[in-house]
Structure 1
Amino acid sequence: MKLATILSLVAATLALPTDIKHVAARASYSKTDGLKFNIDGVTKYYAGTNSYWIPFLTNDNDVNLIMGHLASSKHKILRVWGFNDVKSVPGSGTVYFQSFSGSSATINTGANGLRRLDAVVAAAEKNGIKLIINFLTSTAVFAWELANEPRCNGCATSVLTNWIRSSSNYVRSLDSDHMIAIGDEGFGLTGDGSYPYQLGEGLDFAVNLALPNVSFGTFHLYPSSWGTTNDWGNRWISDHASVCKQLGKPCMFEEYGVTTAADHCPVESKWQTASVGLRDAGMAADLFWQLGDTIQSTGSLTHNDGNTIYYNSADWTCLVTNHLKRIG
């Protein structure tokens, strides 16, 4: 996301009515506590998930039901998209947050715009879920995130480092309380020399994490997309934990998944176990990709990209219920 886009979204947020952008006591904000996260006064390792689609639902009851499922499962963190850009204004019933005409952007604060994101924030707050999201204030926010998987293929790493520095500094100038993360895949660090460890996508994990206004490290894991093996993932996790421990900032295993349904439990549970096993050595949370549920108003399932773990399925029992029991 360009800095200009970030600024326009921040401006739109600040223009929202007070009941939408109310700020609660600072004591309730999520924060880092050494190499772990503190949520509502409790410092521990946390588990969560991702849902790019929940801000695009148009029925508040659907949003509330799904958020309630997360709460009853004892998940605490949900990462959602705070961006939804279009080049032309769609018909009624289609949610979009920002429309572009050439280089100029128009923010949609209407019923099919940022009000849908506000419904997600309200449901999260009601159910005690903390959101990783772009630029809205309430106690439901866990952290601001600069982008989803930023890359600059073939660029000097200084290009993205400078962008991360300027963007995080600007966000910090507006908000001294909430955490800030990059949202990157964790590319570019010392390791076996395979593609994800290289600097070819313009990212240097340690250099970027060391920036003063980056609160914690993020990394993703998709071996089938990266030309690596599922077993390779355990080293990817431990190598990031090492860097985080070295720099004194927590690591969030922010996205992970495999597209073969039969591999969901046996593969991803091993990654979860590896991450939890490093909870005193840099790892602080993991969020699987992605949340799946049934939309009550239509009876249809949410999007299945192959990685999706549906609420109350056998995979859910393995990767949510049993995982949370291990965490304690």
Structure 2
Amino acid sequence: MTVEIPLYNIFGDNFVIALASLTKNARRSLDSVEFDDVSLKNALLTASQLSKERKITDKKGKQTELDFPKSGNDKESFNEALQCFNIPEGAQVSDILSKFAASIPQLPPCDEVTAPSMLRPEHYEYVRTPGFYRRIKASAKAQVSPVYVLVSLAGWVLTRLGRAPVGKGEYVGVYAFPIDVEKRFGMIPSLLKELGTKDVPGTEPSTALAIWLASKMLKSHAPIDQLMIYTVSEPVGKEPAAVTNGQLISVGRLLSNERFREIHEEAGAIAEKALSPNPWECDANNFSVKFSNLLFEVLSGSKREVELAYLANREYYAWKRSQSASEKCVSYYLKALHVANRILGL
């Protein structure tokens, strides 16, 4: 049997399409995605298990399951969607998804509910939505089916890489979406398990983010060539969700480069420093950013390997000769030098 999930031309469609990428024989049309019922149930259970594993640590040091972010206004409509499937308010995401999976394919008829703001972030309410066939303005208060809400919830689990710092005490959620129903995205659970419960180190520059992600993909054996990365100010209190940035990340050339594969962990560690919004004592003159930018250009074929080696050699020997340089800093620049030399073939 098949289950047809309507699309509403809102941001939440990305979550539905992501879930479809984990299922067999899913087909997308202009207005819906058609799922095989057994594959849909299995994908929901995969998302349920992932939500258990990717815990967060609260201010008291206690680990809890990650909760779907909702503003005060979102809670009523979200609970209405749960009621359709006799799921109690306050249920954990893993329980919601497992109980929803148990209802497949005999889905009960229910009235539409107002889409939670995570499914229609402010950035998209009155503008044309990228990534969709139709180009119409979305409604400020889109009415969607409860089935759509819970399928989107599963897609939310599967696309949330984590949160990233953007300033002192400020964070955004980082989401990775397939371009369309894309079977290679089926490797995303392995990548998410590798990321675990840690934060994403940052989102800029995009070159460093690509290097960091490529390193994690190689470590988890989950190569995904292209991803749409969105950063979202997640809803809390009276504040609704809002998309703050979106970019296409392409890592195909990095993943296929044999020399990068040899040193990807060291390169990923440097990229992590470049992504952090907090200054680091050893990172003089934004070296990590410069190195990550140049490394990405070299691996993409637009710059010569010798330029990377020159930058790394110059900075390493400057730190090595400095009487005030700590051993930690010198070893960091030595790591960059090793990466550059390996890329150069030395």
Smaller-chain TM-score range?
Answer: under 0.3
Higher share in helix = 2
TM value normalised by structure 2:
0.24
TM value normalised by structure 1:
0.25
Higher share in strand = 1
